[in-house]
Amino acid sequence: MPGPVTLSDVAREAEVSLATASRAINGSANRTVRPELRERVLAAAERLHYSPDANAQAMARGRTTTIGLIVHDIADPYFSSIAAGVTAAADQLGLVVTLLTTQHQRGREQQFVEVLQSQRARAILIAGGRYDDADGTESLSQALAGYMASGGAVALIGQPLPDVSTVAIGNTSGAIELAQRMHGLGYRRFGVLAGPEGHITARDRRDGFVQTLADLGAPVAPGAIVECAFTRDGGYEGMRDLLSRDLAVDLVFAVNDVMAVGAMAAARDADREVGADVAVAGFDDIVTLRDVNPGLTTVRLPLDELGAKAIELALAGPAAEATVVEVDGEVVVRASTPPRA
C-alpha cells in the first residue's frame, strides 16, 4: 500500500524544503512564504491528497485540538442534550470532542481523566451527577489536579468541586421555585420520588422542594419520600411503591423528567389519571419529552447552552481562578399539574 503521504512527500513534489512546505500550509507566525511558492506547495498537497498527521502536529506543537467529554450515559437525553451543545461549540472552535461514558460505574470518571490526560486533551468537561462519596470525589479531584498541573483545563457541568471551574445548575433554586408554584396552585399533600441515596443532584432537588414546602406549612410526610433509581424504571417503581402506601398525596415530584415519565406510566397502570387523580412534576424539561400527555410540569434547564458555557469556562485560561457560574432553571407549568380547585 502507498501508505499515508507525508509532508516531505509534498515538499519533494513541490521542490521545496520541509520547512517551506510546513510554512506554506499552515502559515506560521510572522514567517511568510512567497505567494508563488505557496501555491506550488498547496497544489502539490492537493495533488497528493496530503492529510497532515494530527498526532505528529500535536507532538510538535505541544498541544492537541481535542477536548474530552465525560458523561454517564449518552443515551440519556439529559446528557445527549449537553453533548449536542458541546460538540456544536467545539466545532465552532475547530476542536474535536472525544466522548467517554461511564455507564454509571463509579470510579470511571477518574480513569477517563487519566485517559484524556494521555491524549493530552486541551480540556476536560465532566457532566453528570456525582455521588456523595468522599473517596471517589477525592480521587477524582486528585486526577483533575494532576491534569490541570500538566496544563490541562477543566470544567464541570452540574455540581462544583473545589478548585475547578463549574457551570453549576440551580437545582436547589429550581426546586424551591417549583415547590412554591405547586403550592400556589393549591396542592398541599406532596410526594417525592427522590432518586438514590447519596446522589447529590437528586438530593439538592429533593431538599429544596421538601424544605420549601415545610416553610410554607405543607410539610411532606416522611413516608411520602421514596428513594429510587435516577432512571425511568426508578420512577416507575418508586411511583408504584408510593401509590401502594395509600397516603393520599395529590402531587408527586420526581427529581428528573425521565423518572417523572416512569411515574406517569406507573400511575396509569394503577388506574390513576395523571392530572386528575394525581399530579406529577419533573425536572430538566427534556425536549423529547415535551409531548408526553398530559404535558409534564417541570423545571426547564438550558441544557444545550451548558456545553458551550462549559467550554468557554474551561478555555478561559488556567490563569483565571476556578470560576463557578450558576445557571438557573425556569418552572414550566403544564397539564400534569392543573390548578387544584
Partner DNA sequence: CGCGAGCGGGAACGCGCTTACCCTGAGCGC
Partner DNA sequence: GCGCTCAGGGTAAGCGCGTTCCCGCTCGCG
65: buried, middle or exposed (CB in 10 Å: 19+, 13-18, 0-12)? middle
Beta bridge partners of 214: none
Least gap, CB of 27 to a second copy (angstroms): 18
Rounded Cα distance between 241 and 234, Å, is 10
Binding status of residue 3 toward DNA by CB under 7 A: yes
Rounded Cα distance between 255 and 274, Å, is 17
Binding status of residue 287 toward a second copy by CB under 8 A: yes
| Interstrand relation of 153-158 and 190-193 (parallel, antiparallel or unpaired) | unpaired
Binding status of residue 34 toward DNA by CB under 7 A: yes
Q: Which is nearer to a second copy, 39 or 114 (CB)?
A: 114
Q: Which is nearer to DNA, 143 or 176 (CB)?
A: 143
Q: Judge contact between 145 and 139, C-beta under 8 A.
A: no
Sole window of 27-35, 91-99, 145-153, 176-184 interacting with DNA (rule: CB under 7 A): 27-35
Beta bridge partners of 326: 168
Residues from 37 through 56 that contact DNA (CB under 7 A): 37, 50, 52-53, 56
The residue to which cell 458541546 is assigned = 86
Residue 216, all three cell numbers: 410554607
Give the amino acid at 29.
A
Binding status of residue 293 toward a second copy by CB under 8 A: yes
Least gap, CB of 28 to a second copy (angstroms): 18
**Integer-rounded Cα radius of gyration of the chain:** 26
Residue 8 interacts with which of DNA, a second copy, none, CB < 5 to 8 Å by class? DNA
Rounded Cα distance between 321 and 325, Å, is 12
Binding status of residue 156 toward DNA by CB under 7 A: no
Rounded Cα distance between 221 and 190, Å, is 8
Binding status of residue 222 toward DNA by CB under 7 A: no
Binding mask 244-283 for a second copy (x = CB under 8 A): --------------x--xx-xx--x---------------
Among 33, 97, 144, 243, binds a second copy (CB under 8 A): 97
| Residue 117, CA distances (Å) to 112, 226, 228 in order | 8, 40, 35
Least gap, CB of 94 to DNA (angstroms): 14
Beta bridge partners of 157: 127, 167
Binding mask 120-159 for a second copy (x = CB under 8 A): x-------------------------x--xxx--------
**Interface ranges with a second copy (CB under 8 A):** 1-4, 49, 51-56, 58-59, 64, 66, 69, 73-77, 80-81, 83-84, 87-88, 91, 96-101, 103, 114-115, 117-120, 146, 149-151, 232, 258, 261-262, 264-265, 268, 286-289, 291-293, 304
